[in-house]
Amino acid sequence: MTRLSPASLILAALTLAVAGCSSTPATHFYSLASIAPDAPESPRPAGQGLAVAVGTVTLPAYLDRPQVVTRPGVYAVHLAEFDRWSEPLQDMVPRVIAENLSVLLGSDQIYLSPRRRLPGLAHQIDIAIDRFDLDDQDRVVLAARWDLVERSRDEVASSRRITIIEPAADRSYETIAAAMSKALALLSRDIADGLQAAAATRAKPARGS
């Protein structure tokens, strides 16, 4: 039996270590996209100049991680170790919603959680997301509740629950990110409709005036 010298053993160990490192998959990073300013969704005149705060946006704890999360089954959750978000969803989701509302309402007065009172800032949107992932049927499911808050009285003027299902063409992570972006666009559109309705109600003169 041939015995290897210590130097040979060290060299063999280093070779195995290098081989192991070279076989590690590369990590890919993804982000969510907002509605492009030149998208078919044109600004709606009723919302032009509307000042809105995107306030508290909460996500479930299972999404508080860098990995892209999918559901391969009813009870299973998969974390994609080598497919990750470029920044925390807790930061990315509110920003994308604010950017979407700016396009949908044709307003440059959409703010992220302003701490100070701003002139003309009548409404705040608080959003609680209960689910946001790809299911086992290749559909992105976004379940959320959004509240329209009257900032002058600090009261919830209206509240709405919505579940959005956006099909994904496949299970590639880039496709998943695109479908999640579309789901956020639909949520933003629903919020924009609510904001416009509230603005129209405020604009109506009181009876007898």
Model pLDDT for residues 34-52, shown as the tens digit of each residue: 999 877 655 554 556 788 9
H or E element that contains 121: strand 121-134
Which pLDDT score, from 0 to 100, does residue 152 have?
76
Identify the bridge partners of residue 127 per DSSP, sorted by sequence position.
57, 146
- CB-CB contact of 68 with 83 (8 Å): yes
Which pLDDT score, from 0 to 100, does residue 185 have?
98
Domains of the chain: 53-203 (3.40.50.10610)
Whether the pLDDT of residue 104 is over 50: the answer is yes
Reported in sequence order, the residue ranges of 66-119 that DSSP labels E, i.e. its strands, are 67-70, 78-85, 110-112
Q: Return the half-sphere exposure (C-beta side, CA atoms, 13 A cut-off) of residue 170.
A: 4
Q: How confident is the model at residue 209 (pLDDT cuts 50, 70, 90)?
A: very low
Which pLDDT score, from 0 to 100, does residue 133 have?
98
Three-point CA angle 57, 61, 67, nearest 5°: 100
Q: Which two tokens stand for residue 52?
A: 């809105």
Q: Which two tokens stand for residue 200?
A: 């129209």
Q: Across 153-162, 168-177, 193-202, which has the greatest mean pLDDT?
A: 168-177
Report, as an integer, the average pLDDT of 117-145.
92
Which pLDDT score, from 0 to 100, does residue 154 have?
81
Report, as an integer, the average pLDDT of 45-64.
85
Number of Cβ atoms within 10 Å of the Cβ of 160: 13
Q: Which two tokens stand for residue 59?
A: 């996500």
Q: Would you say the pTM of this structure is higher than 0.85? A: no
Which pLDDT score, from 0 to 100, does residue 198 have?
86
Q: How confident is the model at residue 122 (pLDDT cuts 50, 70, 90)?
A: confident
Q: How confident is the model at residue 151 (pLDDT cuts 50, 70, 90)?
A: confident
Which pLDDT score, from 0 to 100, does residue 1 have?
52
* Helix (H) and strand (E) counts in the chain: 3, 8
User: Which region among 59-68, 82-91, 141-150, 199-208 has the lowest average model confidence (pLDDT)?
Assistant: 199-208
d(CA 14, CA 7): 11
pLDDT digits (tens, 9 = 90+) for 109-119: 999 986 666 76
d(CA 26, CA 145): 37
